[in-house]
Chain A
Amino acid sequence: MFKSYRPHSISDLLDIIDKETCHIFAGGTDIMIRKRQWQGAERKFTQNVVYINHLTELKGIEETEDAYIIGTLTTQTDIVKSNLPEYIRRPYELMSSPAIRNVATVGGNIVNAASVADSLPILYALDASLELASKYGKRIIKVDEFVLGKYKTNRQTNELLTRVIVPKYESEGYFYKKLGQRKASILSKISVFILHQPNNIRITIGAVNDLVIRSTELERQFVLDKDIASLLSGYKSLMNGKDDKRSTKDYRETTALNLIEDYLKEIKDEL
């Protein structure tokens, strides 16, 4: 048996998770499936559950001079309808279906840390940071230090992801492509995200490895030498995925590199 909580404030919530290990339940569009059970029954939760979706202070987007600060409970629909730059909105627009996006949250996609989480490549490319709160205070951590592996993060059981801090980037152009078995409502086989401005490029690859692939070293080298072939072989050497039910290692690696190659040929002279 598990207990279910619905605290009235963030501080009550932090007290609860300080005492007990809980599933922190926001939109729930992933955990409801993973804990599925027969009709009419409660979901098969293996830990106590704490519901936070009604804590509206955790929702909304703020803009400062150099960053966008996104509350963890902001939904994917909120992002799509926001004034955020198109290169942030677009990947969210292509996630899942309209009804799921109405419920699924920005924070959920991060903390869930699936290897196919489509928001992670964008957050990695933008050097996003996360604010985590516990009863004892707050800390800020870079997203690439937070995600440790497939479904594994650096979040301690008494911590709540509260805000996502996305530094602004003066983009001259971006490329985003995700491939899946169908166009909408599908988990990615791979995704490629590229952002650039003069003398700077950011390239991330999602769903190939357990973790998002990004190499600032390869990015810097490419801006200097514009050598596409050596960039691609650099990324190839970072790929260590496996065949699974969604795709094969070969397909993923080849298509990811082809997509990067095509786009870089197009923009090489603008860098």
Chain B
Amino acid sequence: MKIKFELNHEFVEVETTLSKRLLDVIREDFDLIGTKEGCAEGECGACLVYVDDLLVNSCLVPIANVVDKHVVTIEAFSKTDGYQKIEDAFVKAGAVQCGYCTPGMVMAVHELLKQYPNPTVEEVKEGLSGNLCRCTGYQSIFEAVNLLIEGGYLDV
């Protein structure tokens, strides 16, 4: 059946079944491969996307739950000013190694700083608790978050 939703600020229609995962539709039907499949069980956060401004694991969302909603993937997010600041901070802190977790991690960092412009260490850990990174040991990611806090991430 035809499913309609908004993807990265454009109205789209796709021929699929209700029970297909949003992750697979994004990657296979729209060829947007920034969103990754890691664990496929909601633990690793590599597949995070926004659905109607809420961060969700796209590996756990069937397309049925996306009908008429607005999905924003890393491809669209990477065109924002916020993204640019996060990228700069990640580069400066060396927060990227293999890069597989990075698209999800970047979105989680954005969401964290949106919720808590000045987070405590505990809030940072809780905000990023749904994102696994097997390379960095997280310290450089926390450092990147600190750079963003110091730089006033949300003051545009």
Within 8 A of A (CB), among B49-107: 54-57, 59-62, 64-65, 67-68
Q: Which of A27-35, A59-67, A113-121, A125-133 faces chain B?
A: A27-35
Within 8 A of A (CB), among B1-56: 17-21, 24, 28, 37, 40-43, 45, 48, 54-56
Which listed residue (A4, A32, A96, A183) contacts B21, Cβ 8 A? A32
B42 CB, nearest partner CB in chain A, Å? 5
Given contacts A99-B45, A185-B43, contact A28 B24 (CB under 8 A): no
**B65 A54 Cβ-Cβ under 8 A:** yes
Can you list, as one digit per residue, whether each of A36-74 has a CB less than 8 Å from chain B (1) or not (0)? 100111110100010101100000000000000000000
Which listed residue (A4, A33, A51, A54) contacts B42, Cβ 8 A? A33
Q: Counting CB contacts under 8 A, is B129 at the interface?
A: yes
**A103 B57 Cβ-Cβ under 8 A:** yes
A163 CB, nearest partner CB in chain B, Å? 21
Given contacts A51-B65, A77-B54, A98-B129, contact A33 B19 (CB under 8 A): no
**B60 A28 Cβ-Cβ under 8 A:** yes
Q: Counting CB contacts under 8 A, is B125 at the interface?
A: yes
Q: Counting CB contacts under 8 A, is A9 at the interface?
A: no
B112 CB, nearest partner CB in chain A, Å? 8
Given contacts A36-B40, A97-B130, contact A103 B56 (CB under 8 A): yes
Within 8 A of B (CB), among A82-107: 96-100, 102-103
Residues of B within 8 A of A6 (CB): 18, 64, 67
Q: Counting CB contacts under 8 A, is A25 at the interface?
A: yes
Q: Counting CB contacts under 8 A, is B117 at the interface?
A: no
**A100 B60 Cβ-Cβ under 8 A:** yes
**B45 A28 Cβ-Cβ under 8 A:** no
Q: Which of A2, A33, A54, A98 has the most CB of B within 10 A?
A: A98
B50 CB, nearest partner CB in chain A, Å? 10
Q: Counting CB contacts under 8 A, is A224 at the interface?
A: no
**B57 A98 Cβ-Cβ under 8 A:** no
**B111 A98 Cβ-Cβ under 8 A:** yes
Q: Counting CB contacts under 8 A, is A184 at the interface?
A: yes
Residues of A within 8 A of B59 (CB): 32
Q: Which of A25, A51, A99, A100 has the most CB of B within 10 A?
A: A99
**B42 A25 Cβ-Cβ under 8 A:** no
**B54 A43 Cβ-Cβ under 8 A:** no
**B54 A4 Cβ-Cβ under 8 A:** no
**B130 A4 Cβ-Cβ under 8 A:** no
**A32 B129 Cβ-Cβ under 8 A:** no
Interface residues of A, Cβ cutoff 8 Å to B: 2, 4-6, 25, 27-29, 32-33, 36, 39-43, 45, 49, 51, 53-54, 77, 96-100, 102-103, 183-185
Interface residues of B, Cβ cutoff 8 Å to A: 17-21, 24, 28, 37, 40-43, 45, 48, 54-57, 59-62, 64-65, 67-68, 108, 111, 125-127, 129-131
What are 19 of the A-B contact pairs (CB < 8 Å)?
A: A4-B64, A25-B64, A27-B65, A28-B60, A28-B65, A33-B41, A39-B37, A39-B40, A40-B28, A43-B62, A51-B18, A96-B42, A98-B108, A98-B111, A98-B130, A99-B45, A99-B55, A183-B129, A184-B125
Q: A4-B64, A27-B65, A42-B19 are in contact. List 19 more A-B contacts (CB 8 A).
A: A2-B19, A4-B17, A5-B18, A6-B64, A32-B62, A33-B60, A36-B40, A40-B24, A43-B21, A43-B62, A45-B19, A98-B111, A98-B127, A99-B55, A100-B60, A102-B54, A102-B56, A103-B57, A183-B125
